[in-house]
Structure 1
Amino acid sequence: MAYKMVVCDLDETLLNDQKQIPAANVAAIKAAVAQGIYFVPNTGRSYLTVQDNLQTLGLEQHKNEYVISYNGGAIVENFHNQILQTRAMPFSVVENLFELGAAKGYCIHVYTVNQLYIWNISANEIDYLTGRVNSWHESNEPNLDFLRGQELIKIIFFVPQEADRLALRQQVAATYDYPLNISFSSDRYIEFNSVEADKGQAAIALGRRLEIKPAEIIAIGDNSNDLPMIRQVGLGVSVANGRQFVKEVADYITTTNNNQGAVAEVLQKFVL
């Protein structure tokens, strides 16, 4: 199979633990792009936080190059950061989730298309975000009324214990009528999107725009929110440091981890 597009998670996949792209990954990605391959970061984060990474890869502000953000909540062309597609949630749904998270005392992130608002932030969270997220607004507002009327793409909670994340997913799935895409990332977040937004649906939609078939796409990831793209494309890859449940559905598991240039391994083996 001749692959034409690679969609790739950022944290714990493309980036090393120092929040940088290993040199081997940079070289392999540039070589693949030079051969006409689309390399598309596919992240739970905002596209605005990816700009430094795009610059490193030589993709910043390029026409006909793309980023998928917010777990598939937005598809963005790098040139002028043009928003091509969004999948927002109703305000009432995000408001109810916000009230649930606030009642439990969680650190809460709410994403509009262009902004990130955070409540109840901790030193641990600031340390994790610094170097990954270049700007956010810390809010003391007791509700989301100030965001009424805006497109709300994603809401997430920092829930440190996996058992608590699993229990919360079960609670929300059992009590909310609105269908949600509920996923986990970075072994610290539970994430809520519209059921129409996941990394797989967005990868397929972008492929359709570019006349690329699902079978011609490679997806690389490590965690729960990467499962839809790993399942739906032609070659689904888990990095060596990926969660076991990701490895179980992947077509290929790298021998190298995110610190050792796992993405370069994939590109060398299947593209270059």
Structure 2
Amino acid sequence: MYKLIVCDLDETLLDREAHISKENEQAIKAFVAQGGHFVPNTGRSFLSIQDDLQQLGLAKQSDQFVIAYNGGAIVENAGNQVLATNPLDFATIKQIYDIARSERVSGHIYTLEHLYVWQPSASEQQYLDQRGVQYEAVTDDSLAFLRDQPLMKILLQDDDPAKRQALAESIPPQVATPLATTFSSGRYVEFNHVAADKGKATLQLAAKLGITTAEIMALGDNSNDLAMIKAAGLGVSVQNGTAEVKAAADYVTTADHAHSGVAEAIEKFALH
């Protein structure tokens, strides 16, 4: 029996309008009602998904959790208590930022509680607005305001997949800190500390809860979900997942994220 479900949000749980369908909501609530832990495992900040947690009945709940920043932080929902972090150092963030600026690429820097964005394109602005993402603009290229903040991750956004691939290949050799490099949402290349990924954080949380690997289900759609799909006892790709994710998954839903693929998997494998 599955006791822990970790689930990506964008393009997995959320539909094209960034909403949780009624079918997904009902399946998740049924799983939690039978004693399960449903844990959003997202590249986003835990603070940015509080409305989603509220809809699912998980907001402010003890013994329910969020894995944020691609495994950069594990947070208990009651009081948003941060249980573990895997941050990047300032020098690495600054170096990646400087490379991106020289390439005229926009992006995001996540601290534990804030998001900073520089030069979003029109399409990126629309994407952020649709999801109600709250952020501050970067106005100081020295990034001095970040020196004393815990830095969770940095991501770069470009509409050209070839450009994203080139950045993913060229940046890690230029910095001293080992990086975990992933892609998400068909628009981002993301850089975390190598100790942070969705799979490692899933297993870390499972160990805390006394849950075995065989009792974990993971659902995702893109390369930043691969680590948790491979780590879980049952890895699931929604139908709109990338070819790489589908190949790694134990099960591929017939429904995509816009048609409650998450509910399909939960109902098939996780409900009594």
Give the TM-score, by structure 2 length.
Answer: 0.97
Amino acid at match of 2:144: D
Distance 1:48 1:131, change over 3 A: farther
| 1:1-272 matches, cutoff 5 A | 2-272=1-271
Q: Cα offset for 1:164?
A: 1.2
SS at match of 2:152: strand
Q: Cα offset for 1:110?
A: 0.5
8 Å Cα contact 2:217/2:234 also seen in 1: yes
Residue deviations 1:110-141 (CA, integer Å, cap 9, x gap): 11000001111222212101242431001221
8 Å Cα contact 2:45/2:69 also seen in 1: yes
Aligned pairs, number:
271
CA distance in 1, matches of 2:188, 2:7: 19
SS at match of 2:117: strand
Amino acid at match of 2:255: T
Gaps of 5+ in 1: none
Residue deviations 1:60-106 (CA, integer Å, cap 9, x gap): 11111000000000001111111111110111111100100111111
SS at match of 2:266: helix
Q: Cα offset for 1:107?
A: 1.2
8 Å Cα contact 1:121/1:138 also seen in 2: no
Amino acid at match of 2:151: L
8 Å Cα contact 1:49/1:132 also seen in 2: no
SS at match of 2:171: helix
CA distance in 2, matches of 1:61, 1:134: 20
Amino acid at match of 2:109: V
CA distance in 2, matches of 1:161, 1:243: 16
8 Å Cα contact 2:230/2:249 also seen in 1: yes
8 Å Cα contact 2:105/2:158 also seen in 1: yes
Amino acid at match of 2:13: L
- Percent of pairs with identical residues: 48
More displaced, 17-26 or 173-182? 173-182
Amino acid at match of 1:151: P
Residue deviations 1:165-193 (CA, integer Å, cap 9, x gap): 11111112333332100000000000000
SS at match of 2:258: coil
Amino acid at match of 1:85: A
CA distance in 1, matches of 2:241, 2:131: 19
SS at match of 2:84: strand
CA distance in 2, matches of 1:131, 1:34: 31
8 Å Cα contact 1:26/1:57 also seen in 2: yes
CA distance in 2, matches of 1:58, 1:199: 23
Gaps of 5+ in 2: none
8 Å Cα contact 2:95/2:175 also seen in 1: no
Give the TM-score, by structure 1 length.
Answer: 0.97
Query: Cα RMSD over matched residues?
Result: 1.0
CA distance in 2, matches of 1:101, 1:188: 15
CA distance in 2, matches of 1:177, 1:117: 23
Amino acid at match of 2:258: N
More displaced, 167-176 or 200-209? 167-176
CA distance in 2, matches of 1:169, 1:139: 22
8 Å Cα contact 1:109/1:157 also seen in 2: yes
8 Å Cα contact 2:42/2:68 also seen in 1: yes
Spell out structure 1 runs of 4+ moving beyond 6 A.
Answer: none
SS at match of 2:20: coil
Amino acid at match of 2:214: A
CA distance in 1, matches of 2:217, 2:60: 23
